[in-house]
A and B are shown apart, each in its own frame.
Chain A
Amino acid sequence: MTLKIPENLENISTEIIETDLLIIGGGNAGCFSAIEAKKLNPDLKVTIMEKAHISRSGACSAGMDAINTYIPEGKTPEDLVRWCRSQVGGGPLREDLVLSCAEELNESVDDLEQWGLPILRDDDDNPRYRGKWDISIHGEALKPIMAEKAIEVGAEVYNRIVGSALLMSGDQCIGAMGFGVRNGKFYIFKAKATIVATGGACGLYKSYTSDSTDSHHQTWMCPFNVGTGYAMGIKAGAEFTSMEQRWVATRSKDFCGPIDTISVGYKSNIINAKGEKILEERYAHLGGDQAPRYIRANAPMEEWLEGRGPTYADTTHLSDEEVKDLKVDYLNERPSYVLFLAARGQDITKEPIEIYGSDPYIVGGHTGSGYWVEMDRMTTIKGLFAAGETAGGNPNKFVGGCAAEGKLATRGAMKYMDALELPETDMEQVELEKKRIFEPLFKGTDFDGVKPREMEERLQRLMDEYAGGSSQFYRTNEERLNYCLKHLKKLKNDVQYLQAGNLHDLMLAHEVIDRLDVAEIVCHHLSHRKETRWQGWQTRSDYPETNPEFDCFVESRLNTETNEIETFTRPYEQIIQGDRYKE
């Protein structure tokens, strides 16, 4: 529907919504936060601020084929922590957070099954494990199931509201602001406690097929999650952890879809052009096929670099039934991959699935990057909690972990808001934000400005070439990072020239603005960690070895007075005993 664009700031109406618990992002973690809140207190006012439509928004739009962590019988939450730790090369990671999530994990997944999610079971009614910890599901309707439950229990959902900034009162977060991408209104949500669960950040880097007509968003991750939740916190001076731990994984080549856990599940070894089993051959010392994810991600790229590409997941041994099951898995998560194979006339038992790395993403549900949080999931900003991909320190959450963390964040938020009185809103802050949000719409038709798409493409190529994107086989160095930061500053300066002709473009404008904030701290983190700890996720060509000095967390925070990003470290604490590098 084409909406009449408001002509000036005065024509824009403001809606103020007061609530108890505000959840920014109606995704996996967000829905579980809402459901938990209503379970603990049915009279609590719970509001979800959602950028798209909650029934199919975010990373789960097409569905999910597996829940990658579900503790099997005989294993304990501590075992999960150990595995998780080994998968990130021994850490550092917040073992306290991981353990607390692991303890809630199975119950959250069981809830999903109660609500109708089909979990595949064997003849003895046990869940079918595709790998050590991952169970197969038919999750095409995962998102509607969660969304419906959240609505059923009484959460109030505001669809099509793009979040733009936190509402602050001094150093306390009392809600958030945003705009309606369909109705052009300005929104102020006042809340006693806020949970930010906006997913991760995609599109910081250029995806390597993004140079043509129809495939700008050929990314593994949902391209509509741009890190707005992170950006909101960055601007308010929140502390972020491990942003250098970018998520890169083995992906199907060109299509950039999931393949990693599938290749494990269907026992399809990663091979190179010569048919050599790469992991066994070259990475045996790091665990071979059991090697941590970043090893598996980097391996095919290294083969290409050294001229032994293309690389494949060897599916030639699969039976017809296994091929069917594999395709059903895809149909549940990235259905168009089946179309991709059909569009190549590819029979994967004859031509194995070609693999490659992907562009790097920031996702705290896969690696540990995101907000620094306490056990109650409160960030360093009072009143702001984080859960899911937005919260850091806790890698390998996946669907079950994000759900569990949503619950934990709610419990923390509810304790926090007990007997809390909401202060008055600072109208100056609000007016400034309103102006900032809608500015690109009012430049006028003669304005000689920059389109959001132009800036986005520039950002993505900048990051790709200078901050370790896929074209650089993830490598970066000091000089390139400095160059990147310098140009990011130029881009940030050019934000004033961004011009939008309609509300959709206005959303795109803010998406690129938010990405700039996230990209900036990613570069700072990459710069600060002067070693290579997780090759692929974080490769420093000037510091190719691991340095024990950096056996710690790298943190960042915007100094709101100097307006500069500060980076520092925090020590790593091993809680679960045992060899950090082994499960």
Chain B
Amino acid sequence: MPPRVNPEKCDGCNAQEEPLCEQVCPGDLMTLNESGKAVCRENSDCWDCMSCTKICPVGAIETRMPYQLGYHGAKLIPMVGTNTITWTSIDINKKVERFRFKTRID
């Protein structure tokens, strides 16, 4: 489940000690490469929890399905609000599905 980082968008969180994706990954898989861009150390170790994808403030990360499991071109994009999240699923036939729900209540 490789998280793909768009190097144009990624700013390495301004080369902080740890970019946000590195901070949050439960598997210690995200890190910065020599160019200061985020990269996944080992794609095959990802569990696709999508924490990195959700937290990236510039939207540079996309989670993909490995080819073993699914065909090319599908997308699942989270957009995180303060207490809501929306998900947009685009399948290989370009069919779009949208979901929205609250993640916290008071």
The interface of chain A, by Cβ under 8 A from chain B, is: 1-2, 52-53, 55-58, 61-62, 113, 116-118, 138, 140-141, 145, 160, 181-182, 209, 212-219, 222-224, 254-255, 324, 327-328, 331-332, 334-336, 338-346, 504, 507
Contacts and interface: CB of A to CB of B under 8 A. Distances in A.
A56 B52 CA distance: 10
A213 B44 contact: yes
B91 A214 contact: no
Given A56-B51, A160-B28, A335-B50, 12 more contacts: A58-B26, A117-B104, A182-B18, A182-B28, A214-B1, A214-B46, A215-B44, A215-B69, A216-B44, A218-B68, A336-B1, A342-B91
| Of B25, B32, B83, B103, most A-chain CB atoms within 10 Å | B103
A1 B1 contact: no
B44 A339 contact: no
A342 B49 CA distance: 17
24 contacts: A53-B26, A56-B24, A61-B51, A62-B48, A113-B105, A118-B103, A138-B103, A145-B104, A209-B68, A209-B69, A214-B1, A214-B43, A214-B46, A216-B44, A218-B68, A223-B27, A324-B97, A331-B99, A335-B87, A336-B1, A336-B48, A339-B74, A339-B89, A343-B91
B67 A213 contact: yes
B68 A254 contact: yes
Contacts of B101: 118, 138, 140, 328, 331-332
Given A213-B66, A336-B1, A336-B65, A140 B85 contact: yes
Nearest to B78: A335
A346 B91 CA distance: 8
A160 B18 CA distance: 12
A352 to B, nearest CB: 17
Contacts, number: 180
B79 interface: no
Nearest to A507: B28
* A interface majority secondary structure: loop
A182 B48 CA distance: 22
Nearest to A58: B26
Given A2-B31, A61-B26, A341 B66 contact: no
A74 to B, nearest CB: 26
* B interface majority secondary structure: loop
Given A58-B26, A209-B69, A216 B106 contact: no
Contact of A255 (B18, B64, B69, B103): B69
Given A344-B92, A345-B93, A214 B102 contact: no
B68 A215 contact: yes
A218 B69 contact: yes
Contacts of B41: 504
A213 B68 contact: yes
A224 B2 contact: no
Interface in B22-46: 22-28, 31-32, 41, 43-46
Interface string B68-100: 111111111010000101010111110101010
| Of A182, A215, A345, most B-chain CB atoms within 10 Å | A215
A254 B69 CA distance: 7
Given A56-B51, A222-B47, A223-B47, A345 B26 contact: no
A77 B47 CA distance: 35
Contacts of B44: 212-217
A551 to B, nearest CB: 38
Contact of B76 (A213, A217, A342, A344): A342
